[in-house]
Structure formats: structure tokens, C-alpha cells
């Protein structure tokens, strides 16, 4: 049973990003870095990643990845960070709509899963066409009120 079934709607807020054109593997690594953090801290971390001041450590998908000082294998997934930052801000806004303080929230659950592969076609020589597949990602964020 996932967190969605166990959460109390009075103290939690969630947001979902569906079929986003971002890398599923990099999304998993960014989500692992943010899980359990306060919302303000998570947004600051993502801002640093977007500005390439802080690298995201790659723990699972790290083959042929360059090492960064103090992090080990990692990278700067700017596009992923921008999209996940937007989803966290949406969840924060949903919390404020419920009457909760958006700044006094922490990330209870954040997960990224592969979405559908979008198949498009582009022309090739002699009238043939080859599939041009795009990976998509679904990201779910659940925020909960911090306990004092």
C-alpha cells in the first residue's frame, strides 16, 4: 500500500506531474535527494542544481558518470530540477488552498516512475520512417505538516 492511501487529507497536500518529457533515471536520483526534506530546503537545493552550484549524487544510475567534488558520481540535471521544483511549488500551493501553512511543510513522499513511451515518426530516406521514441516520467509529491 502506497503513501497515498495512508495519508490524512487534513494534514497533507499532494501534486502530480504526468507524462513529463524528462529523464526517468535522473528524476529518480533527484527525488531520492529530496525525500524527507523541508519544502524551503528542497526548493533551495533545486535552485542550486539549476544554477549548477550543487551536484545531484547518482546512487543507482551511475555507470560512466563523472565524479564531482564532495559528491562522487553525480550531475546537474537542470531540466529535471526545474520540473520537480514546479511540482513541489504546486503541492505547496495546494496546501495553502487547504488552509495549511505552505512554508511549514516537509516532503513525506516524492517518487518518479516511467510514463508511457511516446512514439512519433520522422521521415527517413526513400520515404521510410523510423520511430523517434520519447521517454516520459510521472512524478508524485506528498507534503505533510511538520511536527513541532
**The dihedral of CA 73, 110, 39, 15: what is its sign?**
positive
Q: Alpha-carbon Rg of the chain, whole angstroms?
A: 18
CATH number of 12-145: 3.90.470.10
Alpha helices in the chain (DSSP H): 3-6, 24-34, 39-50, 78-97
* Distance in angstroms (rounded) separating the CA atoms of residues 14 and 97: 12
Instruction: Summarize the chain as % helix, strand, coil (round to 5).
Output: 35, 35, 30
Task: Confirm if 29 and 49 have CB atoms less than 8 A apart.
Answer: no
Comparing 3-7, 107-111, 143-147, which segment has the lowest mean pLDDT? 3-7
CA atoms within 13 A on the CB side of 61: 12
Residue with grid cell 495549511, as numbered in its chain: 100
pLDDT in tens, 24-76: 999 999 999 999 999 999 999 999 999 999 999 999 988 898 888 888 999 99
The whole-model pTM stands at 0.87
pLDDT in tens, 1-14: 456 667 888 899 99
Amino acid at each position: 500500500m502506497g503513501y497515498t492511501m495512508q495519508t490524512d487529507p487534513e494534514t497533507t497536500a499532494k501534486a502530480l506531474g504526468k507524462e513529463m518529457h524528462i529523464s526517468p533515471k535522473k528524476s529518480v536520483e533527484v527525488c531520492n535527494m529530496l525525500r524527507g526534506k523541508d519544502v524551503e530546503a528542497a526548493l533551495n537545493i533545486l535552485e542550486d542544481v539549476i544554477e549548477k552550484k550543487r551536484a545531484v549524487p547518482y546512487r543507482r544510475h551511475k555507470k560512466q558518470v563523472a565524479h564531482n567534488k564532495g559528491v562522487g558520481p553525480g550531475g546537474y540535471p537542470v531540466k529535471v530540477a526545474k520540473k520537480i521544483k514546479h511540482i513541489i511549488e504546486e503541492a505547496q500551493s495546494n496546501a495553502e488552498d487547504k488552509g495549511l501553512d505552505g512554508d511549514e511543510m516537509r516532503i513525506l513522499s516524492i517518487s518518479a516512475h516511467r510514463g508511457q513511451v511516446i512514439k512519433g515518426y520522422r521521415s527517413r530516406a526513400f520515404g521510410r520512417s523510423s520511430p523517434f521514441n520519447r521517454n516520459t516520467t510521472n512524478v508524485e509529491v506528498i507534503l505533510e505538516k511538520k511536527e513541532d
